[in-house]
Amino acid sequence: MEPLNDYPVPALHRFKRLPDGFIDAPVERLGAILPGPALIRIEGEPGPPLFVSILLHGNETTGFDAMQRLLAGYDAPHRLLPRPMLLFVGNVAAAVQGLRKLDGQADYNRIWHDERYPEHRLAREVLAEVAKAAPLAAIDLHNNTGKNPHYGCVNRLDDATLSLARRFSRTIVWFTEPHEVISIALSRICPSVTLECGVSGNAAGTSHVENYLLHCLELSAEALLTPPPNYLNDLFHTTARIIVPEGRRVEFGACLDSADICLRDDLETLNFERVPEGAELGRYRDDVSPLVVIDNEERDVTDRYLSFSDQRILTKLPVVPSMFTRDVRVIMQDCLGYIMEPYEVKRDSRD
Ligand SMILES: [Zn+2]
């Protein structure tokens, strides 16, 4: 298959220490410190490192902000961290421009499986370095655009992984699709989580992440990876995602006549809520099929979850949505949101 286009793919830049200026650089000037995607070793007391990735999506800056504060607090690299860190800074070019990704680039959190795009080579190099470093745990930091609680995502259901997620939030989401994300690739190397840290730029979110990372550096490995009691209260399993077919015009609330799909104004408030059967998500013009639901096996399961009648989009059974967003660019680049089910771990089904 052809690459997306001939956008020049930056090589992986390896740093043996934290570059000067990293801690103070505003994200829009990060390009002056890091010429592109960078893997940075930061020295610590002897032991396996903590792997952290930030800015895989360039406009999701909470991880970057929290990392700057964390490292400044430790006076890195002048003093040792409690354990070494391997820090991957992903899409620097997009971050400088405040975008998830640049037009024509592959999505940096969809390049960790397969060999289609030039960016896959970058991903392969990073994974080889991480495997060599044998980290204690791996943490990938993200924001979302919609109204969501802070939550941890896991791709496996072993105690160490769930513990790593539970230390961030009682709300935990288990997903296996999209399978091209970094956390799934890393889960083959060490316990691995994706943390969804609310919206970018929120001060409380930054503090939460900074504190979490501090614990990850300071707790013993055993304490970090042993689950606290009652840690499975809010575990959900992502079963499907909702897509807007290409070329459809989406609006919210009081929509213009030009809108093909008119979604309810408060759609984001449904995230992580139990939405009953028959709930109206929005309206659509009667000559187009408004939304498509795809399950984890890439099957079209729209009929199972949604019904379309009288130009209304209705839920067909009770669902728990997540990541519903009003950001139309994100909706068209990624998806409208995900459908989840509450999930109970059976002791004998853990891997
Ligand atoms: Zn993201």
Domains and CATH numbers, the chain: 13-232 (3.40.630.10), 239-342 (no CATH)
What number is the average pLDDT over the span 322-333?
A: 90
Burial of 306 (0-12, 13-18, 19+ CB in 10 A): buried
Residue with tokens 């059967």: 277
- How many Cβ atoms are within 10 Å of 15's Cβ, its own excluded? 17
Query: What is the percent of the chain with per-residue pLDDT over 90, rounded to a whole number?
Result: 83
What number is the average pLDDT over the span 313-327?
A: 94
- Whole-number Å distance, alpha carbon 100 to ligand 1 midpoint, is 8
- Band (347; pLDDT cuts 50, 70, 90): low
pLDDT score at 205: 96
- Whole-number Å distance, alpha carbon 60 to ligand 1 midpoint, is 6
- Whole-number Å distance, alpha carbon 275 to ligand 1 midpoint, is 25
Least confident of 220-229, 266-275, 312-321: 220-229
Strand order in the sheet with 261-263: 250-252, 261-263, 280-284, 312-315, 306-309
How many C-alpha atoms does 120 have within 13 Å on its Cβ side? 11
pLDDT score at 9: 66
Cα 339–345–346 angle (5° rounding)? 135
Residue 331 near residue 281 (C-beta atoms within 8 A): no
pLDDT score at 351: 47
pLDDT exceeds cutoff 50 at 198: yes
| Nearby residues of 248 by Cβ (< 8 Å), 6 or more positions away | 260, 261, 288, 290
- Over the Cα atoms of the chain, what is R_g? 21
- Whole-number Å distance, alpha carbon 79 to ligand 1 midpoint, is 31
- Whole-number Å distance, alpha carbon 109 to ligand 1 midpoint, is 7
- Whole-number Å distance, alpha carbon 339 to ligand 1 midpoint, is 18
- Whole-number Å distance, alpha carbon 108 to ligand 1 midpoint, is 9
- Band (26; pLDDT cuts 50, 70, 90): very high
pLDDT exceeds cutoff 80 at 346: no
pLDDT score at 175: 95
- How many Cβ atoms are within 10 Å of 9's Cβ, its own excluded? 17
Q: What is the mean pLDDT of the chain?
A: 93
- Whole-number Å distance, alpha carbon 305 to ligand 1 midpoint, is 25
- Per-residue pLDDT of 54-82, as tens digits, reads 999 999 999 999 999 999 999 999 999 99
